[in-house]
A and B are shown apart, each in its own frame.
Chain A
Amino acid sequence: MASVQMPRLSDSMETGKILRWLKKEGDQVQKGEPLVEIESDKANIEVEAYATGKLSKIVVPEGESAPIGAVIAEIGDGSTAPPADKAPAPQGQAEAAEPKEGPRPATTDAPKPQASKPEAHVAQADKAVAATAQTAADAGGEQYPHGGPDDRTEVGAAAQAALNVIRRPGEQEDGERQRVSPVARRLAEEHGVDLRRVQGSGPGGRITKEDVEAAAQQQTQAPAAAAPTREARQPTARPTGEVEVVELSKLQTTVAMRLAQSAFSAPHFYVTSEIAMDDAVRLRQMFNEAVDKSEAISLNDLVVKAVAMALTKFPEVNASWADGRIERKRDINIGIAVGLPDRLIVPVLRNADQKSLKDIAKESRQLIERARTNKASAQDYMGNTFSISNLGMYDVDQFTAIINPPDSGILAIGAIEDKPVVKDGQIVPGKRMRVTLSVDHRVFYGVTAAQFLQEVKRLLQSPMALVL
């Protein structure tokens, strides 16, 4: 007894409707013979019998529907002998017309041995072809069946390698080496955050951007390094042991390294000059009387402007040593050294030659304020082509500074002193300021250095030129 089930005639079909039974109950059915016409969701299909026997029962009549897999008819144990009228008459011999080694067939058609013509077989093959075409139509012409929708919810092998990298536990070898992400490192430097005091929340204890940002927030500000005034220092308690070790912050370490590098690799020579600052001081006074306090200019601003203007005449000074070549920089960006209790930073005033004295004053004030309060950005420290360091407010007569890489020169400014000077054969009081230019001897030489310094002196001694 064989059950005939509702077949799946398309991917999306769920139920089928019996359109027409091609055999009646009691009829003999051959395997492969068309049995019933069924309507799927896409088309009407003639379905063949898959068993031979008597159609003993039609379970689902015409006009009714049934779900896929439901029994729609039964084919009983009918006789398995093929009906006599269907005995195929053997038509040509399969052997007769085949080619032996003799003459080859001249046509492109192969010889045709006639098999019997079992219609059922042909009909079955017919259906197979139709079924293939139907499946093709159902699939919308897709060449290949699909793997199905992206419904996997667990992570697969495709992501495993990436996850292994992300989740790698830290190799905390000697405890000295910290894992810090690049962006965290950069932000720490900018904000003056001591990474050794930061707890890393990333994989393997890595310090992340988030960690540094949080630390920067909490960080107590360094006691505001006041405007350079003379502060009276009180004697402090002496260390109890032989030596008191002061640990360096990351920033201090970096600065130390870079200065050492500069001092040891750039052959420094020094040129000193004494500048008459009478007119400059007077100009500054007049200027500051005329404007609001918030717009006051400092002596340092005058020096910055003078140096920037001089650099436009001496491009060979606005240059760097780079691996055996000299790179002359297009822009004139002046680094202004700012000393704070625990660090030295050099914010950069960009394109100083193109800015007015007023703008330079405003910008340098902002730069220094940002540097002091840890609000400087990376841009603030980048791109210097020449630097200035001023210790005049500490009564220093003169000093020699170490070049700030990648510059080739740095101008160290001393204090302005009232001293007796010779003018027109007479001894009169005058204001004098000593400046020392440190030079990377690989980039330019004594004469250039002297002439450059001459120009700076000239500008400061005729300070109206700076106002233009």
Chain B
Amino acid sequence: MAVLAMRDALNQALREEMKRDESVFLLGEDIGLYDGSFKVTRGLMKEFGEKRVLDTPIAEEIIIGTAIGAAMSGLRPVAEMMTVNFIMVAMDQVVNAAAHIRYMFGGGTKVPLVIRTPGGGGHQLGAQHSHSHENWFAHVPGLKVVAPGTPADAKGMLKSAIRDDNPVMFIENEGTYAVKGDVPDGEHLVPLDKNEVKRPGEHITICAHSRMLIVAMDAATELEKEGISAEVVDMRALRPLDMAPVIESVKKTSRLITVEEGWRSYGVGSEIASRVYEEAFDYLDAPVARIAAAEVPAPYNKRLEKIAFPGKADVIVTARALLGKN
């Protein structure tokens, strides 16, 4: 077991997979010479050379398009979108090509592609640089979507994603690259379709993913002090959406809070809530509470930004309210 920062766990995953499989290569903006704008690809160009670590022009559509073609031709590209905000330029490639091609070709080809991209806000980067789009991707059949919240899961899931034969949206978060955690030694793989309870509890269930997992865990620690035992379920697997641990938990607690960094309407919480209503309706003591970013373009001002994005105070107050302890 080693303690690694998220970025280093991801770096390790990339390095290991590139060593293991020659067909794995990276492409993206400033990932090589610059070592990556978040240092996730640090040292990789030096180790593997320019043919396997490709610095691209600032042209998102061509990055994804190139990756798709390469994947269809037998390579295993890992494309980086510097932040998820820029992926909107390439949505046609992501959806109409990467997600649909196998189906349109009657299974005659496959697109083993990983798109790594960090989302999230809270850094005063303004409206255009603070999005979270995992729900957009999770809406699309043909894509797999994962959003790990710990360095161990990040490493294990990135390795699994690279080995998967499908296009995988690998959602990272700008605010978690420096977060440290235990990462098992040796070959560490985490499946792409299993969610799990990260913290057992009795009174209330909290679903969260990516940076919000940390927010939820912090809130749970605080809530414990006032006698509220919260069960935190890590929703790292968004498509396919593994609801089993959530349903099991809700049957126990009867109360659910979802937390996400994206906007509320049509968000991840909406899907989780719908499935809970379908599968555990008779176990609910109250409607599902969805905590998400305020529905405004992300403000620049520090104070406004802080209240627009979910923090642990939001989870704590909502948990209390849900349990009738106002």
**A and B touch in their complex, CB below 8 angstroms:** yes
Docked pose: A383 CA to B51 CA in angstroms:
63
A337 to chain B minimum Cβ distance, whole angstroms, is 24
B305 to chain A minimum Cβ distance, whole angstroms, is 6
| Contact A166 B124, beta carbon cutoff 8 Å | no
Is the C-beta of B264 less than 8 angstroms from some C-beta in chain A? yes
A168 to chain B minimum Cβ distance, whole angstroms, is 9
Interface string of B250-286 (1 = CB under 8 A from A): 0000100100000010000000000000000111111
| Contact A159 B310, beta carbon cutoff 8 Å | yes
In the bound complex, residues from chain B placing their C-beta under 8 Å from that of A209 are 254, 285
| Contact B321 A166, beta carbon cutoff 8 Å | yes
**A148-B302, A152-B306, A162-B289 known; 20 other A-B pairs, CB under 8 Å?**
A150-B311, A155-B318, A156-B294, A156-B313, A158-B309, A158-B311, A159-B310, A159-B314, A159-B318, A161-B290, A163-B317, A163-B318, A166-B289, A167-B321, A181-B284, A182-B283, A182-B284, A183-B282, A186-B282, A208-B324
Is the C-beta of B235 less than 8 angstroms from some C-beta in chain A? no
| Contact B38 A143, beta carbon cutoff 8 Å | yes
| Contact B289 A165, beta carbon cutoff 8 Å | yes
Docked pose: A151 CA to B283 CA in angstroms:
34
Q: Which residue of A lies closest to B317 (CB)?
A: A155
In the bound complex, residues from chain B placing their C-beta under 8 Å from that of A175 are none
In the bound complex, residues from chain B placing their C-beta under 8 Å from that of A181 are 254, 284-286
| Contact B175 A157, beta carbon cutoff 8 Å | no
In the bound complex, residues from chain A placing their C-beta under 8 Å from that of B293 are 158
Is the C-beta of A142 less than 8 angstroms from some C-beta in chain B? yes
Docked pose: A141 CA to B178 CA in angstroms:
9
Docked pose: A183 CA to B313 CA in angstroms:
28
The residues of B with any CB-CB pair to A shorter than 8 Å are 37-39, 121-125, 174-175, 177-178, 215, 218, 254, 257, 264, 281-287, 289-296, 302, 305-315, 317-318, 321-322, 324, 326
Which residues of A, 139-155, contact B by the 8 Å Cβ criterion? 140-148, 150, 152-155
| Contact A147 B37, beta carbon cutoff 8 Å | no
The 8 closest A-B pairs by CB, nearest first: A159-B314, A156-B307, A157-B294, A158-B310, A147-B122, A162-B289, A155-B317, A141-B39
In the bound complex, residues from chain A placing their C-beta under 8 Å from that of B306 are 147, 152, 156
| Contact B285 A208, beta carbon cutoff 8 Å | yes
A153 to chain B minimum Cβ distance, whole angstroms, is 5
In the bound complex, residues from chain B placing their C-beta under 8 Å from that of A108 are none
In the bound complex, residues from chain A placing their C-beta under 8 Å from that of B309 are 147, 156, 158
Docked pose: A163 CA to B317 CA in angstroms:
8
| Contact A183 B285, beta carbon cutoff 8 Å | yes
In the bound complex, residues from chain B placing their C-beta under 8 Å from that of A165 are 287, 289
Which residues of A, 254-294, contact B by the 8 Å Cβ criterion? none
Contact of A145 among B39, B124, B290 (CB under 8 A): B124
Is the C-beta of A160 less than 8 angstroms from some C-beta in chain B? yes
Docked pose: A209 CA to B306 CA in angstroms:
36
In the bound complex, residues from chain B placing their C-beta under 8 Å from that of A155 are 313-314, 317-318
| Contact A160 B286, beta carbon cutoff 8 Å | no
Q: Which residue of A lies closest to B293 (CB)?
A: A158
Is the C-beta of A201 less than 8 angstroms from some C-beta in chain B? yes
| Contact B285 A152, beta carbon cutoff 8 Å | no
Which residues of A, 114-155, contact B by the 8 Å Cβ criterion? 140-148, 150, 152-155
Residue contacts A-B, CB under 8 angstroms, 16 given: A140-B178, A150-B312, A154-B313, A155-B314, A155-B317, A156-B314, A159-B310, A159-B314, A167-B326, A181-B286, A183-B254, A183-B282, A183-B283, A184-B285, A185-B282, A209-B285
Contact of B292 among A141, A153, A158 (CB under 8 A): A158
| Contact B282 A162, beta carbon cutoff 8 Å | no
Is the C-beta of A78 less than 8 angstroms from some C-beta in chain B? no
A342 to chain B minimum Cβ distance, whole angstroms, is 24
Is the C-beta of A430 less than 8 angstroms from some C-beta in chain B? no
Q: Which residue of B lies closest to A156 (CB)?
A: B307
| Contact A163 B321, beta carbon cutoff 8 Å | yes
A149 to chain B minimum Cβ distance, whole angstroms, is 10
Docked pose: A156 CA to B315 CA in angstroms:
10
Is the C-beta of A202 less than 8 angstroms from some C-beta in chain B? yes
In the bound complex, residues from chain A placing their C-beta under 8 Å from that of B289 are 162-163, 165-166
